[in-house]
Structure 1
Amino acid sequence: MSLSRLFPHPMLSVLLTVIWLLMVNAPSVGHLVLGAFFGWGIALLCSGFMLEVPRLRRPLRLCRYLLMVLWDIVIANLHVARLVLGPTRKLRPAFVEVPMDIDNEFILSVLACILSLTPGTVSSGLSNDHKTLLLHGLDVPDDQELITELKARYEAPLMEIFECSRT
C-alpha cells in the first residue's frame, strides 16, 4: 500500500488534529494522539468523496476575486432588500440554464456556491454531463444578459485563477 493511499489528505489530517486540540482545550499527549488518529481516520474515510482541487495559478487574482465576490454580496443584499420591500409586481423571477465552460468538479462547486451566496440567485441543479447549471434568479429581466454577466464576472476569472481547461 502506497503512502499516498495510507495518508490521502495530509493537510486535512493536520487541520482536523489542530481543530480537535482546540476543541478539547486541554493539550496533552493523549489528546494529540487521539486528534491525530481522528484526523487520519476521517481523511481516510472521506478520501473517496473529496474532489481534486486544481493547482492555483494566480493567487493574487484569487484575493481580488474574493473581494469582488464579497462586494457583490453586499450590493446584491441591498438590491434584494429593495425588491422585497417594494411592490411584488416588479419581480421577474426565472429559472435560467447557464452553459458551463468549466470541466473541473471542484471549480463548478465553487461557482455554484458563489452564485448561491449572492442574494437573489440560487444554484438549483447541474446537468448530468456538468455542462449546464440551472440557476434561479429573483429578478431576471433578460436571460441572455444574466448568462453573459455570470460567465464574464464569475466563471472566466475562476478559470484564469485555477488551472482548469475549457471544454
Structure 2
Amino acid sequence: MRAFSHNVLLTIFWMLVTESFTLANFLVGFFISFLLLLLARSLFDPTSRRYFTLAWKLPRFVALMFWEILLSSLQVARAVLSPRVRIRPGILAYPLEARSDLEITLLANLITLTPGTLSLDVSTDRRVLYVHGMFMDDPKAVMSSIHHSLEKAVLEVTR
C-alpha cells in the first residue's frame, strides 16, 4: 500500500503544481505518477511492488468480468426468448481452490453477478461452494468454466 499512497501524494502534488483540480488532470497526474513510481519500483520493498503487478492484472480482471456477464446475459436472454424450454436448473458442489475469506467472498459474489448463477452457501470447512445454475446440463463443464475463468481470475488478482 505504500506505493499506492505515494502515487496519490504525487498526484496531489501534480495537481497543486499545475493549479488544475479537475478529474482529467487528476487522471493525468495519477498516470504520470504511476509511471515515475514504476521506474523507481526497485526502491520499494517487495510487498509494495505488488501494486505494480496488480495495476496490470486489475484491468484484465474487470474486462473478463464484463465479458462473462455479457456471455451469460446472452445465454439467459436466448433461453427466455426461445419457444422451447432449455433451462435445466441444478445445484452443484464446487470444490474451492480459494482459501482466504476475501477470495471466497469475491468468487461467490462474481458467480452471483453473472446471470443464471447464484452462490448459495460455503461448507463449514470452506472447501466447497454450493452454486445454483439455470443451465446444469453438464455440471463438469460448469465447474470447469468457473475454475478456468472466474476463480483463476480472482486468485490472480488476490495472490
Aligned equivalents of 1:107, 1:60: Cα separation in 2: 19
Q: Deviation per CA, 1:37-83, whole angstroms, max 9, x where unpaired?
A: xxxxxxxxxxxxxxxxxx76533112111111012112211210111
Greater fraction of residues in helix: 2
CA drift at 1:88: 5.4
SS at 1:58's partner residue?
Answer: helix
CA-CA distance at 1:116 after TM superposition = 0.4
Q: Does 1:116 align with 2:117?
A: no
Query: Following TM superposition, by how much is the alpha carbon of 1:154 offset from its aligned partner in structure 2, in angstroms?
Result: 1.0
Structure 1 spans left out of the alignment, 5+ residues: 1-54
Q: How does 1:19-98 map to 2 (within 5 A)?
A: 58-87=54-83, 89-98=85-94
CA-CA distance at 1:99 after TM superposition: 0.2
Q: Which amino acid aligns with 1:99?
A: P
2:139 paired with 1:143: yes
Report the count of equivalent residues: 110
Could you give the per-residue CA deviations for residues 105-153 of structure 1, whole angstroms, max 9, x where no partner exists? 0111111111000001000111111100000110122111111111111
- Taking the aligned partners of 1:68 and 1:78, their CA distance within structure 2 comes to 15
Question: Which letter maps to 1:105?
Answer: D
Residues 96 and 127, structure 2, Cα contact 8 Å, conserved in 1: yes
| 5+ long unaligned stretches in structure 2 | 1-49
Query: What is the one-letter code of the residue matched to 1:111?
Result: L
TM-score by length of 1: 0.61
8 A Cα contact 1:99 1:133, kept in partner? yes
> Residue 128 of structure 2 aligns with which residue?
132
Q: Is the 8 A contact 2:79 2:85 kept in 1?
A: no
Runs of 4+ in 1 over 3 A off after TM superposition: none
Identical-pair percentage: 28
Distance 1:162 1:93, change over 3 A: same
User: TM-score with structure 2 length normalisation?
Assistant: 0.63
Aligned-pair Cα RMSD in Å:
1.9
Q: Please give the secondary structure, in 2, of the residue aligned with 1:119.
A: coil
Q: Distance in 1 between matches of 2:55 and 2:97?
A: 21
Counterpart check, 1:152 vs 2:151: no
Q: Distance in 2 between matches of 1:114 and 1:75?
A: 14
Deviation at 1:89, TM superposition (A): 3.2
